[in-house]
Amino acid sequence: MKDVLAMRLLEAWRQCERHMHHLKHAVLALAPVLPVMPMSIANMDDEVVQDWDQFILRFTKLQDAMGARLYPALLDYLQEPYQDRPMLDKLHRLESLSYLSSADEWNTLRVIRNTFAHDYPQDDALKAAYLNEAVAAVPLLDALLAKVAPVVENIR
């Protein structure tokens, strides 16, 4: 049973690593246009738009993968009985185990992720603020992954 749980955790970890790799690559590609200014939104060339699309996709997928796959797999591997509990309970348990600094921090990341589900075509200032906030959150996502890394290393 523990082998199955370990494999599930490793698969989720690899998925998150892949998303983080591409997310960091997108941030590097976007570095010349950061921070985003409202007046630059309308003047972005196709390459910059594609870089932002990649960033948004990977940010969203990483945050989703961590919440839906990595953290549940981590709790299962650690034999924490949280499979049928609400996400908030899981977050509080991860916080008490020091895999999250706070459940509120995770919820803030979720709010940032959810902003990408909405389009504000007339409000470039709002778009710029959301993009800048998401870029600023990448180190936090990376730090959260780093907290899980020792468990994954012990499996390998």
Q: Is the pTM of this model over 0.85?
A: yes
How many CB atoms are located within 10 Å of the residue 138 CB? 18
The count of domains in the chain is 1
Residue 11 sits at φ, ψ, to 5 deg, of: -65, -45
Report d(CA 22, CA 40) in Å as an integer.
24
Report d(CA 77, CA 153) in Å as an integer.
13
Domain that residue 13 falls in: 2-155
Which distant-in-sequence residues (6+ apart) come within 8 Å of 120 by Cβ? 126, 127
Band (120; pLDDT cuts 50, 70, 90): low
Q: Give the percent of the chain with pLDDT over 90.
A: 84
Q: Are residues 121 and 106 in contact, defined by beta-carbon separation less than 8 angstroms?
A: no
* pLDDT average, residue stretch 118-137: 88
Report d(CA 24, CA 43) in Å as an integer.
23
Residue 72 sits at φ, ψ, to 5 deg, of: -60, -40
pLDDT in the model for residue 121: 66
